[in-house]
């Protein structure tokens, strides 16, 4: 049977332990840990050929984690490329017509060269007869005949030169006409090339590429299931740095500011806490009512201000875990 002194000692010891524990739990604010969760959705329609992730996997930025069947899109690309190739075959060539006209120009130039030689001979003959007429050794009619032949030959040479110019214009016109026709065909090619680029973009979406580094929290789909654009595939969050959303009363606002370092405590067994370092990154500019699940330092405070505290996670912090704050 316990004596009165033993009973008194036990009660005193209990009160001492309670007082000690209560001092340890005398925190300035309480909150819940959060993480920026991102739901990754499919960017294409079709059968999910593979989704190589499991919950808890750590993924890196740009990592390929899945593949959607896009055979239909591949066929569309092949059809569009075939249409482009067909349009190229429709382009006209000016070479055959131009070669015929160039041959005519060569012929006319040869005729003009012959006429120039004839003109040279006639000019020599005219000079000889002119001397004979001046010496009254030849009749004037012969000189007049030579002069007439020279005038006719000059007119013929002018006509030949005109024919060469006309044929040259025909060549330029033919080339321009073919060029206009080909530009019309090429104008149909450009939209098809843009279409190919669009299809390539769609094919890129057939691969499931992880956009952020983090840990897979939930997996919503499995391989061989049908998926669609916007359908969730998995949820991911960066757990390396957690956010503690805590609430401070109006009387505590003077003790806190953005970028202020604070002490964070999380449960570490029965009546024990693990101390960590955090930094206040945001304080709400307006008050709100105290959430029912959060107890502030003074429970009589109805209006509180939300604050976000960044804490580097060493693996102990989990989403939804409570944390205590000391300013």
Could you report the per-residue pLDDT of 188-217, keeping only the tens digit for each? 888 888 899 999 998 999 999 999 999 999
Question: Is 0.85 topped by the overall pTM?
Answer: no
Task: Considering only residues 27 and 237, tell me which one the structure prediction assigns the higher pLDDT.
Answer: 237
The CA distances from residue 226 to 49, 50, 67, 79, in Å, are 9, 11, 12, 25
The per-residue pLDDT for 292 is: 62
Order of strands, edge to edge, in the sheet holding 58-59? Answer: 37-41, 232-237, 214-219, 58-59
**CATH class of this structure's domain 41-71+208-236:** mainly beta
Tell me the average pLDDT of the chain: 84
Three-class DSSP category at 41: strand
Give per-residue pLDDT as tens, 14-33.
333 333 343 445 788 989 99
Three-class DSSP category at 11: helix
Is a pLDDT exceeding 70 seen at residue 299?
A: no
Is a pLDDT exceeding 80 seen at residue 2?
A: no
The per-residue pLDDT for 190 is: 83
Is a pLDDT exceeding 80 seen at residue 44?
A: yes
Place of tokens 């060469």: 164
Pair 189, 87: CB distance under 8 Å: yes
**Rg, C-alpha atoms of the chain:** 49
Give per-residue pLDDT as tens, 87-144.
877 777 767 778 888 888 899 999 989 989 999 998 898 888 888 888 877 788 888 8
Give per-residue pLDDT as tens, 280-290.
999 998 888 76
Three-class DSSP category at 28: coil
Is a pLDDT exceeding 60 seen at residue 67?
A: yes
List the one residue out of 203, 213, 262, 270 whose CA is nearest residue 238: 213
The CA distances from residue 66 to 39, 71, 74, in Å, are 15, 15, 18
Is a pLDDT exceeding 90 seen at residue 232?
A: yes
The per-residue pLDDT for 250 is: 82
Task: Enumerate residues 6+ apart whose C-beta is below 8 A from 129.
Answer: 138, 142, 143, 146
List the one residue out of 276, 268, 293 whose CA is nearest residue 242: 276
Give per-residue pLDDT as tens, 140-188.
888 888 888 989 989 999 999 999 899 888 888 888 888 877 777 777 8
Please, what is the end-to-end C-alpha distance for the chain in angstroms?
48
The per-residue pLDDT for 326 is: 93
The residue ranges of DSSP E strands in the chain, in sequence order, are 29-34, 37-41, 46-51, 58-59, 64-68, 207-209, 214-219, 226-227, 232-237, 241-249, 261-267, 273-283, 288-289, 303-312, 322-326
Task: Considering only residues 237 and 292, tell me which one the structure prediction assigns the higher pLDDT.
Answer: 237
CATH architecture classification, 26-36+237-326: Beta Barrel (2.40)
CA–CA separation, 308 vs 258, rounded Å? 9
Half-sphere exposure of 16 (CA within 13 A, CB side): 6
Q: How many CB atoms neighbour CB 158 within 10 A?
A: 12
Pair 306, 247: CB distance under 8 Å: yes
Give per-residue pLDDT as tens, 258-274.
999 999 999 988 778 99
Query: pLDDT band at residue 65, thresholds of 50, 70 and 90?
Result: very high
């Amino acid at each position: 049977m316990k004596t009165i002194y033993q009973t008194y000692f036990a009660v005193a010891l209990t009160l001492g332990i309670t007082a000690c524990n209560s001092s340890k739990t005398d925190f300035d604010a309480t909150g819940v840990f959060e993480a920026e969760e991102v739901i990754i959705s499919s960017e294409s329609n079709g059968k999910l050929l593979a989704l190589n992730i499991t919950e808890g996997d750590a993924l890196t930025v740009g990592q390929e984690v899945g593949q959607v069947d896009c055979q239909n899109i591949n066929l569309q690309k092949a059809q569009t490329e075939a249409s482009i190739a067909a349009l190229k075959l429709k382009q006209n060539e000016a070479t055959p017509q131009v070669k015929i006209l160039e041959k005519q120009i060569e012929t006319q130039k040869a005729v003009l060269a012959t006429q120039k030689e004839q003109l040279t001979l006639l000019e020599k003959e005219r000079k000889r007869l002119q001397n004979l007429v001046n010496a009254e050794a030849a009749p004037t009619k012969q000189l007049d005949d030579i002069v007439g032949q020279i005038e006719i030959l000059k007119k013929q040479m002018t006509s030949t030169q005109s024919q060469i110019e006309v044929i040259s214009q025909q060549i330029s016109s033919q080339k321009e006409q073919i060029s206009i026709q080909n530009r019309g065909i090429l104008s149909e090619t450009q939209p098809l090339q843009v279409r190919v680029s669009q299809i390539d973009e769609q094919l890129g979406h057939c691969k499931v590429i992880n956009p952020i580094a983090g840990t897979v929290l939930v997996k919503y789909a499995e391989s061989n299931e049908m998926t669609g654009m916007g359908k969730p595939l998995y949820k991911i969050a960066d757990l390396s740095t957690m956010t503690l959303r805590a609430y401070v009363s109006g009387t505590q606002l003077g003790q806190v500011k953005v970028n202020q370092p604070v002490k964070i405590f999380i449960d570490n067994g029965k009546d024990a806490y693990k101390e960590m370092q955090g930094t206040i990154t945001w304080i709400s500019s307006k008050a709100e009512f105290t959430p029912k699940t959060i107890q502030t330092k003074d429970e009589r405070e109805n209006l509180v201000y939300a604050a976000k505290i960044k804490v580097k996670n060493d693996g102990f912090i989990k989403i939804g875990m409570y944390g205590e704050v000391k300013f």
